[in-house]
Every structure is written in structure tokens, then in C-alpha cells.
Amino acid sequence: MSDSRPAFIPQEIIRAKRDGATLGEADIAAFVAGIGAGTVTEAQVAAFAMAVFFRGMTMDERVALTRAMTASGRTLSWRDLDLPGPVLDKHSTGGVGDTVSLMLAPMVAAAGGFVPMISGRGLGHTGGTLDKLEAIPGYDATPSQERFRRTVREVGCAIIGQTADLAPADKVIYGVRDVTATVESIPLITASILSKKLAAGLDGLVMDVKTGSGAFMPAFAASRDLAESIAAVATGAGLPTVALVTAMDQPLAPAAGNALEVRIAIEHLEGGHAVSRLHGVTMALAAELLVLGRLEPDLESALGKLERVLANGRAAETFQRMVSALGGPNDLMEHPDKHLPRAPLVRPVAAREAGTVLAIDTRAIGMAVVALGGGRTRSADPVDHAVGLTGLVALGDTLEAGQPLALVHGRDEAAMAAAAAMIAGAVTVGEGGAAVGALVQARITG
């Protein structure tokens, strides 16, 4: 008598992980394939996610899950374009005033790399690269594949949003994690990030894992664990990766908000306003990519090349060409104020007392932008690209009573008052010196 039992039983895989077993590559692949085929229900995905949350995964399991999620949809290949340089990308766990992507992509492209950057929107207190770019009138963040590939080939970089056919299993798993309190699982975060990056057909990846009060994972130990997981799993899956743990204990730039951050990026690329923290993190990440892509032999040489493409205007020119190729104005770099939206109201938030800025609750600063309408708490929320904050104080700044902690840009007095109260509560001013840590707190290779 033949055995009529089905070859794939989702609950047996869930049971094995629940009980602490190590899953085989075939079981993981079958489970992920079942998500797309409809043979694995959302309830079973939720149970699997909770089992992984409590039991964890070995590195081999994480590699297998990442590969299976990558294989759940379309994967990109750039070989047919015969590009004269490596295909490189950067990903960040998100922060406040983090405008790195807008500068890094054109800088790396100007230095000889090709950067097909697939980015996300902001959620919670973190700003989204796509929201920033959509502050530029006409910019198409969801172009056709043909336009995306043409822009990468001709310009050297294109920053767009995730298409529905890249790692579609991740969309299902992430949606379940979001409503089942399993978002913080390091194996699931690792697979979620890397499945999309592996699908993008990269030759090298640099990962920016934030730590501090504005980070998704504020504690350094957890941030380091995530960085180690991503570097190991990516390299194990065939994608050479370096992960940097960088400080997010204060906003990276003195501005937060979509159009306001685009202005910061433009000023920085043109050399007129080099914000030290933003510059330092951008240079560190971009230099890693040039070495990963074998465009430069070491980090010192890479940093020198990046300084040159900033100084000679090639990085700024590349950013403008990308904006133009994706539907934005041809004179954005020359006349940003002509195109970028501005909020009608600007109000200072005054320091209540004199002293030194000792601490900043960076998450609260990000939520102040959300309160103004410049961010979202649900993925479907609309975003006001004009609102935000400028003139944000930094750790160690010395203030007199009444000096501004920030300038609030908004449309609605009530929202501005709420944001101002959040900023006032987020900045600790007192006597003594501020503890300002290193920008790059750890470097981890695969």
C-alpha cells in the first residue's frame, strides 16, 4: 500500500522549530515556497515567526531562509548590460536626519561603481529614502524595469522603490511579523533585508546598522549581533558584505524632514555645507563599497577618491543626471528652492535653560516630524514632504536660555505646538560635558 501522506506538512516544520530543532535547507525552502503557493497560511507563518523568535536560527538556517525568500520572486541580473564596473549597494536600518543614501549613490557611481539602490519608505520615527526623493517634483520612484536599468547603465545609479516581484515572500512574512510582535527577531530581520539585496544582483553590499536612541535597536549589543548576522549570512549566500555599526544617538544631520533633507544632500554634494557627522558616515560606508568592488585597493585610497569626486563636481553632476533620468527637474541642483516644497510656517523651539546639550532622545525627534505630517505610523499614511525640522542642536552644543533647539517647519499651529513640546522634552540641557561616541562603533566582515 502506497504512502499517501503529503510530502510537505507545514505544521511539522513549525513543530520542529518550536521544539528547538535545526531545520534543513529543503524544509525551509518548501515552507517559503508554500507561502507563495498558498499552501502555507498566514496563521502558520505567524507560528513559524514566533518559533524562530524564541528558538533562533543557526547561520546555516539563516542562509537557507534568505536564499529561499530571494528565490520566491524575480531576481535581477546586470551581466547582459556589460557594465564596466561592479554593482554595489548600501542598506541602513534607518534613523533620523539620515540622508546618506542620497549622497552615497552618486558618489560611488562617480567613482566607478554602479548602484541600483532599492529603498523603502519611512515608518515610525525613521525617515524613508523614497519619501525624500518624492519631495522632488516629477521624480519616478517606481519606474519600469527598462527605465531603471537604463538609468543605472547610463548614469551609474538609480534609487527606486521595491517592486512587488522582488522577494514577495518577504512582504508576507514582514506583514505578519509586524502584527505578531516578532519584528525584533535577528534571523528574520537578516533574511528580510538580504533577500531583497540578493535579488538585486549585487557584487557587494555595505550595511549600516544604527545604534543609540534613534536606532531601531538602541542597545549596542543587539546592533552588533544584527550586524554580525547580516555580514555572515550575506557572505554565506554569495554576496560579499561589510557591516558598520554607526551612532544614532543624535540626528545625523541638523535637519529632519523630506524636502529639508534633500536640500542638505544637495548642499553637501556641491561642497557648500559639509555636515561633519553626515559626511563621516557617508564616507565610511562609500569607501567600504569601493574596496568591496575592487575599485580601490584600501580604505585610505577609497576615501581620497571620494573626496575628489565631491571636489570636482562629478558626484553632484551624477545626482542631477539621476534625478533628470527619473523624471525630475533638470535644474534641481542649480535651483533647489524653485522645485522643493516649503512649509508656510516656521517657529523656533527655545531652550528653557542655559547649559550644554547632554543627551538627545533621537526617536522623539523623529516622532516630532511624524506629528507634523512628515512621516507615517501606518504604511498607507500620506506624507507632507515640506514639513520638518532644521537647525537641530547637537550633543555638546552650548546654549543660552532662549536659544533655539530647532526650527519647526509646518502648516498647522496645533501640530507645530505638539512637535515643539516633543523636541523640548527630547533635548537634555545641563552642566558638564556630553559623552559623544565614535561615529563608527564597529566594523564587521563576513
- pLDDT per residue over 267-325, tens digit each? 999 986 567 899 999 999 999 999 999 999 999 999 999 999 999 999 999 999 999 99
Distances (CA, A) of 335 to 60, 239, 260, 267, 339: 51, 39, 14, 11, 7
Q: What percent of the chain has pLDDT over 70?
A: 96
For this structure, is 210 an active site residue?
no
For this structure, is 324 an active site residue?
no
Contacts of 222 (CB under 8 A, 6+ apart): 186
For this structure, is 273 an active site residue?
no
pLDDT at residue number 6: 53
CATH superfamily of 341-430: Pyrimidine nucleoside phosphorylase-like, C-terminal domain (3.90.1170.30)
For this structure, is 15 an active site residue?
no
Give the span between the Cα atoms of 88 and 138, in whole angstroms.
Answer: 26
pLDDT at residue number 77: 93
For this structure, is 77 an active site residue?
no
Common-topology check for domains 79-165+173-336 and 341-430: no
By mean pLDDT, which of 204-208, 269-273, 308-312, 396-400 is the weakest?
A: 269-273
Pairing status of strand 440-445 against strand 388-390 = unpaired
Where are the chain's structural domains?
10-56, 79-165+173-336, 341-430
pLDDT at residue number 154: 98
pLDDT at residue number 365: 96
Q: Among the options 70, 72, 126, 129, which is catalytic?
A: 129
Q: Domain 79-165+173-336, what architecture?
A: 3-Layer(aba) Sandwich (3.40)
Q: Please name which of 292, 268, 326, 294 lies closest in space to residue 119, comparing C-alpha atoms.
A: 326
Q: Among the options 17, 62, 91, 321, which is catalytic?
A: 91
Q: Among the options 196, 277, 321, 363, which is catalytic?
A: 196
Q: Among the options 62, 90, 125, 263, which is catalytic?
A: 90
For this structure, is 192 an active site residue?
yes
Q: At what angle do helices 299-311 and 100-110 cross, to 10 degrees?
A: 100
For this structure, is 129 an active site residue?
yes
Q: Among the options 177, 277, 279, 314, which is catalytic?
A: 177
Residue 235 has pLDDT above 70, yes or no: yes
417: alpha, beta or left, given left = phi > 0 and alpha = psi -120 to 50? alpha
Distance separating the N- and C-terminal Cα atoms of the chain: 50
Residue 379 has pLDDT above 90, yes or no: no
Domain 10-56 fold is: 1.20.970
